[in-house]
Amino acid sequence: MPRLKYPNIIKLYLCRFCIYFNLEFVNMDQQYYYYKAFGLLFKSCIEHPEFIAEPFASDPDCLITFGSVPIKLTKPDKTGGVYQSKGQQFLLKISHVGRYLIENGDTITIEMIPGATTRDIVVFLWASSIAVLLHQRGKFIVHGSSVMKGEHAVIFSGPSGSGKSTIASAFATHKDSLIISDDISAISVDSTGTPVVLPGYPLMKLWRDSSDTLGLEWDEERLIREKVNKMMVNISDRFVQHSVPLRQFYLLSYKSNGPAVITEIYGYKKLELLTGKIFRKNYLKKGESSTLDVFTEASKILPHVRICTLERMHGITHLDETVAMIEQDLMHSGVMNPVR
């Protein structure tokens, strides 16, 4: 693909010219930083001091850059409330923040809206945009936070607000576990046929009450967005940087009263539950979420993984009891023991 150099006075025109003729626009003034996440090396125009920096590489897996992004795609295959997709192009539009163009599983171009902050951009970059990129690369990703307990990975999945990050953080804070990934867990199958969870990035997002319960100092400067009472927590000292064999998957939900209940799931229900927690499943093209590829990947994962539902009362009042119950369940099922 041609690469163009240009004088400063015509940057904008060249950028739009490159988009129109499908050429690669290269901003020579833009500084880049290198990070690893989900088994990929990212060359990013945005610096993340909390991330673990990687040395310069001439062949990163993905480029994240600022540039001009179209307002809409021509004849998109699918259109949602905030997105359009066409082939290996995906346009994500976030009001008052910016537009993200994710292409071919290897490029994310960001155009900020005037008044948006880098913090705003980052929130939708390392969640929705990265999810699209991982989908384009054929990765199996679920909505869940994962920890390394003993020698195995445990995923806590569920809808937003179900306590995924809180429970994972409780294990990392009080139970000598390590965080693998927060909110998005990417599962791959290694050369031995073993499903593994790929490390994400060393950050967690916690609500104020969860931070207080876990004994973490609240910092208004680290809110994920202005007026959103959720804080970014650096967990680089409790972060695992290698893939971990997956053995346990909990689906979290709430009940009106009574103690927490863990129920193991069997048969076809396991497949239904796992595929139902694919992250940003609505972004997939019509019918794509039920194609043979998705079920084939799930069928490779399921024989190795124990799947349970975990129902508990809303709130964090009984967090310690819930964590203790999970630990007992892991011990009883043998998940915490090394593979023989």
Q: What is the pLDDT of residues 91-118, one digit of tens each?
A: 999 999 999 999 999 999 999 999 898 8
- What whole-number distance in Å separates Cα of residue 57 and Cα of residue 36? 11
pLDDT at 4: 40
pLDDT tens digit string along 154-181? 999 988 878 898 899 888 887 678 999 9
Tokens of 188: 């791959």
Beta bridge partners of 79: 84
Q: Give the start-to-end residue ranges of the domains of the chain.
A: 31-136, 140-333
Could you tell me if 144 and 185 are in contact, meaning their C-beta atoms sit under 8 angstroms apart?
yes
Whether the per-residue pLDDT at 299 is higher than 80: the answer is yes
Give the angle subtended at the CA of 278 by the CAs of 200 and 204, to the nearest 5°.
30
CATH 1.10.3210 fits 140-333, yes or no: no
Tokens of 281: 């499943």
Tokens of 204: 């967690």
pLDDT of residue 16: 44
pLDDT value at residue 22: 45
State the pLDDT at residue 339: 44
For residue 3, is pLDDT > 70?
no
